[in-house]
Amino acid sequence: MIQRHPIAAALGLMLATAALGLLLRPLAPIDETRYLAVAWEMHRSGNWLVPTKNFALYSDKPPLLFWTINLVWLVTGISEFAARLVGPGFAALCLWLTAVLARNLWPEDAGIAGRAAMALAGLVVFALSGSLTMFDVPLTASVLLGLIALAAAGRDPQARRPWIGFGAAIALGVLTKGPVILFHLLPAAALLPLWSRTAFGWPVLAKRLGLGLLVGLGLLSLWLVPAITLGGAEYRNAILWHQSAGRLTESFAHARPWWFFLGLLPLYAFPLLWSPTLWAAGLRAGWMRDRGLRLCLIWAGAGLVLFSLTSGKQVHYLVPELPALGLIGARLARDRPRFGLLPAVALLGLLAVVAALAGFGLLPLKNAGELLQPGAMLLVWALLIAALCWFALRRRGLEGALILSLGSLLATNLLIGLTGTGTIFSTHPLAARIAPYQAEGLAYAGMRYHAEFNFAARLTEPVVELSDPAALRDWVIAHPHGRIIARSDLAELPWSASETILFRNRDYGIWLAENSPFLTSQEP
């Protein structure tokens, strides 16, 4: 099946693995829970132009992901599982678009499309990202659409239609995650004459690129103009500066050293490009003579450099460059279809040994003890990983990489779902305690609230953040039957919590306002 229909097999296996993962693991706080909260509030308000988080303006991200979730809900009704299928849907789209791009880059290579889809699924970071409700895989789809348009433009320098498609891809990317799409697409566009299939003059490129950018800006304005009008000055300033140019010059979060992404290259390449055979084939092939490989180097290399120069860095920022790695692997596998995966297998085998030792109690789990109970599941995980390694060694090549990538992801989701991790990281237990009391008032103390419980509790009113003792006292007096949530080790409330729930491996308490000394001191 895989050899006869590689694209369909890669799509089907990716979707099946992701869907099973969604059934096994909870939404990841604080990112996934926050984004579903924003989508929920968009549904409640009916305002699709200006997103809100905890019922206040939310300018951190544009609305396309939230639109997509709400479009799904129009068909399915409000459903956490249906909303979480949006991520795997975009991942499947990316596999198909990568196959299309591969066919455009190497039309003479009959099997390149299928190999490209399998190769991308054989990168575990992409497989994991494709199962999450986040922005990077939808952004990857926009990048791939833009590169497909550029490949078409490179075949006909006089054509304008591909540049209109390029502009539309930029607009989609900005609607997905903001102007960062330019980091992913502009280097490949600006250097098109270096990798196009026909001669492409620089003056012509400047005109066509200008056309594409104008088209993108025009399409984007269909949302941007009414959004900044409706959102007011605060939203306008945040969208036009704070969340675009400001992020590039001074990180508001996730500040890390310049070499952060360099250190992550082995992770991005795992397990597909952990093959010495593939790298030897690449050295013999002469990378710079292959226009398609030249594009992949420009695309991935420029992304690595540009994001290394910015102050804020997260692992998932380079997910849109992963198809470039997949295309490199797919192209090199043409001449080495049975390439070995021994280094990747050795690493997973070592992890399986460590997990087995922990499962037998020979290695201390420390703070992860409650997360990984029952400990026998570590033994199950180790056995599953060992079986995957055996199959990968037998199948080798792209099939082996696919087995290691998707199989290890599924095994890890089983470990999460069948141990305490699944319950401890779920927002539902705590949300179920507070949902009945939202009419009386809900507040959060001790740290910033990221709307973790808004969707799980289906809240229709904001959770108030209490920043100091005076705010706490005033809120309690105004909401004598309200509930306050706080992390127990960070809270400084002058009375005891009524109950404690383990969430994110920390004790979270629920305090009843009616038990506070502020109310008793008010009594005559």
pLDDT surpasses 90 at 23: yes
pLDDT exceeding 70 applies to what percent of the chain? 95
Q: Which amino acid is located at 192 in the chain?
A: L
- State the sign of the Cα–Cα–Cα–Cα dihedral 237, 238, 242, 247: negative
Query: How far apart are alpha carbons 323 and 303 in whole angstroms?
Result: 12
| Dihedral Cα 231, 237, 239, 245, nearest 10 deg | 180
- Comparing 99 with 245, which gets the higher pLDDT? 99
Query: How far apart are alpha carbons 125 and 249 in whole angstroms?
Result: 27
Phi, psi angles (nearest 5°) of residue 192: -55, -40
HEC states along 19-30? Answer: HHHHHHCCCCCC
Q: pTM (2 decimals)?
A: 0.94
Query: Of 354, 374, 364, 317, nearest to 139 (Cα)?
Result: 317
| pLDDT tens, residue by residue, 204-220 | 999 999 999 999 999 99
Q: What was the pLDDT predicted at 508?
A: 96
| pLDDT tens, residue by residue, 401-448 | 999 999 999 999 999 999 999 999 999 999 999 999 999 999 999 889
Average pLDDT over residues 306-312: 90
Residue with tokens 């007011």: 232
Q: Which amino acid is located at 498 in the chain?
A: S
Pick left, alpha or beta for residue 102 (phi over 0 → left; psi -120 to 50 → alpha; otherwise beta): alpha
In contact, 450 and 253? CB cutoff 8 Å: no
pLDDT surpasses 50 at 524: no
Return the minimum-mean-pLDDT range out of 363-372, 411-420, 461-470.
363-372
